Structure 1
Amino acid sequence: MPALQLFSPFLPKLPFFCTLNLSAPPAFSFRMSSSTPRCSSLASVAPLEAILFDIDGTLADSDPIHYYAFREMLQELGFNGGDPITEEFFINNISGKHNEELCHVLFPDWDLERARKFFDDKEAMFRRLAAEQTEPVAGLDALCRWVEDKGLRRAAVTNAPRANAEMLISLLGLEEFFELLVIGNECERPKPFPDPYLNALQGLGVSADHAFVFEDSVSGIKAGMAAGMPVVGLALRNPESLLTGAGAAMVIEDYTESKLWNILEEIANKKQEFEVIT
């Protein structure tokens, strides 16, 4: 796929799969104040019991593939006067949003069924390309080993269609890593609403007080925070200022950064101290 390799510095590789889905709305109510301080501090989750992960742009560097598919298909339609969409347009208007929302964002004058058909075709194109181009975010393997060694619960929570999510999990070899896969459009409301993350917490049997989230988009960060958890932003493709402005407790480029590992070890040490005390 030489055209894909030429278009942008976007792209990487990894392992993953899982099946369980909670489509029903959470069985508990949610209340959050804008003054809630714990969402701004990873240290507040100790003792840590679970980590929740977005997929696109968080586990796999797949945004370049999505961008390429959107760029090619929209240009073919004559969108934007036939000029290719820019990466800035993709980041500001497409990244992190679910397809039902994008039907209205990109095609406000289209019949809904026609718009849905476009997105079905776009996702099929993405899967064809991703089968050859998917790469993991740097340091993901080490992070997954750390999570397993610490005995933490884990779930994948995404606005991507189920077919995409399951394929990326499989390509990344994480089928046995994730206990739960929650699809935004199978919940009552997708991200940026908290429902997908609340469903994940309910499925794992974990309180938001003892979990945090890895996300790469504004909508994902808002969803994680609205569910009462701190969020680590992945600035792999989206600007750090955008993620910080959305409320990320910390922003990293990938999972190799020392500031992430320093706080993880701090949280792990607090968990050990808590276990000794109890």
Structure 2
Amino acid sequence: MAISSVEIPSSDCKSALLKLAPVEAILFDVDGTLCDTDPLHHRAFREMLLEIGFNGGVPIDEEFFILNIAGKHNDDIARLLFPDDYERGLKFTDEKEAYFRRLVGEQLNCISGLDKLVKWIKDHGLKRAAVTNAPRANAELMISRLGLTEFFQAVIVGSECEHAKPHPMPYLKGLEAIGASKEHTFIFEDSPSGIRAGVAAEMPVIGLSTRNPENLLMEEKPAFLIKDYEDTKLWAALEELEKQGGVSIRTQTTQTDTFA
């Protein structure tokens, strides 16, 4: 699937975060936002669905994965893949997650520039939480492999909330867990459903075009999109925040987290 390029004026990127001043917290999705895991999820679904003859034995392609699976909760995926046997679908997704964790144990790549952003957040003393639709075992494994277990003050899991993303509840639970307000918090997300959840929770969402097409992400109205955490649009916005006194430097430290 071709990924279109969506340009947003740099002035809009800078102003998107200024209204939050003083910023007190940042919320992160996990899959595709902290680490590039969609290829691992796609591989697990493709291989396991092929084994049971799904789609007439034709492997699911990237387009099918992006439109029907990426970013969605396993309950919804189970209903979509097994519309006539929901219980079988749940069993299948549980087995798929176990396979995914084995793949994560072999290979996990963080999003470029994440270590730089983590240091910036720590230097400014901002609160932070991970908010994900992934099962807790997956989320904690990925966060641990990235060396971020101590970085996050809370991990909110969609299946442990009354509603998962795209409902705003997981992000509202994230705010509650770390004692932050939506008026001074923003979000990093990579999927249409995740962006929709953050926007519905009334917080600005910075979208990452890790794997999902930019036109699909923009339909959910993120504040702006970045390629990764090295993107100049992101750092221009953060520097403008500093310049306008929107964040304060709590401590200067050269320590960074270790990434797999």
TM bucket normalised to smaller: 0.7 to 0.9
Partner of 2:186: 212
Q: Could you list the per-position Cα deviations for residues 107-131 of structure 1 after superposition, in whole angstroms to 9, with x for gaps in the alignment?
A: 1011x32211101110000000111
Q: Secondary structure at the match of 1:201?
A: helix
Determine if contact 1:48/1:271 at 8 Å carries over to the other structure. no
Unaligned segments of structure 2, at least 5 residues = 1-14, 250-260
Matches within 5 A, 1:55-204: 55-110=30-85, 112-204=86-178
Determine if contact 1:47/1:270 at 8 Å carries over to the other structure. no
Matched, 1:245 2:219: yes
Q: Percent identity?
A: 58
Q: Secondary structure at the match of 1:246?
A: coil
Q: Could you list the per-position Cα deviations for residues 105-159 of structure 1 after superposition, in whole angstroms to 9, with x for gaps in the alignment?
A: 111011x322111011100000001111111000000000000001100000000
Cα distance between partner residues in 1 of 2:48 and 2:120: 40
Determine if contact 1:48/1:268 at 8 Å carries over to the other structure. no
TM-score by structure 2 length? 0.88
Cα distance between partner residues in 2 of 1:212 and 1:273: 13
The residue type equivalent to 2:179 in the other structure is G
Unaligned segments of structure 1, at least 5 residues = 1-39
Partner of 2:258: none
Q: Secondary structure at the match of 2:19?
A: helix
Determine if contact 2:28/2:188 at 8 Å carries over to the other structure. yes
Determine if contact 1:47/1:268 at 8 Å carries over to the other structure. no
Q: Could you list the per-position Cα deviations for residues 182-211 of structure 1 after superposition, in whole angstroms to 9, with x for gaps in the alignment?
A: 001100100000000001111111110100
Cα distance between partner residues in 2 of 1:64 and 1:274: 38
Residue 268 of structure 1: CA displacement? 2.5
Determine if contact 2:188/2:206 at 8 Å carries over to the other structure. yes
Residue 42 of structure 1: CA displacement? 2.4
Determine if contact 2:124/2:247 at 8 Å carries over to the other structure. no
Partner of 2:25: 50
Cα distance between partner residues in 1 of 2:173 and 2:247: 30
Cα distance between partner residues in 2 of 1:60 and 1:136: 4
Instruction: Give the RMSD, CA atoms, in angstroms.
Output: 1.5
Cα distance between partner residues in 2 of 1:223 and 1:167: 23
User: CA distance change for structure 1 residues 104 and 272 in 2, over 3 Å: closer, same or farther?
Assistant: closer
